[in-house]
Amino acid sequence: QKEVEQDPGPLSVPEGAIVSLNCTYSNSAFQYFMWYRQYSRKGPELLMYTYSSGNKEDGRFTAQVDKSSKYISLFIRDSQPSDSATYLCAMSGRTSYDKVIFGPGTSLSVIP
């Protein structure tokens, strides 16, 4: 079993839809949770960063962490064609020597 699993998609939604992207993980020591967006031929950019459980909102994006279920989600409201990209989840442990582990990414297309 991989440490971080993510449905690769592709996921295709109409413009304006609410998008839900999810990751599951196996290591209960993970404390930091991140979401990255990667456009084609570009490097990933950090979208959201949360510590431990709970929700965090930033504009149209909401990150949710459920540590009891080892499950994290990224919600995108009012999706736009410019949201079309690959979304990678990532997570790490509490000590400064723990490495960040990336999920394989979910490809999202938002159709106008």
Partner 1 sequence: DGGITQSPKYLFRKEGQNVTLSCEQNLNHDAMYWYRQDPGQGLRLIYYSQIVNDFQKGDIAEGYSVSREKKESFPLTVTSAQKNPTAFYLCASSIRPNQPQHFGDGTRLSIL
**Residue whose structure tokens are 């159709």:** 111
Residue number, 17 or 47, with CB nearest to partner 1: 47
Minimum distance between the CB of residue 15 and partner 1, rounded to whole angstroms? 24
Select from 24, 25, 44, 79 the one that contacts partner 1 (CB under 8 A): 44
Piece of 18-26, 66-74, 77-85, 98-106 that binds partner 1 (CB under 8 A): 98-106
Taking the chain, what is the end-to-end CA distance rounded to the nearest angstrom?
37
Sketch the per residue contact string, 58 through 87, with partner 1: x for CB under 8 A, - otherwise: ------------------------------
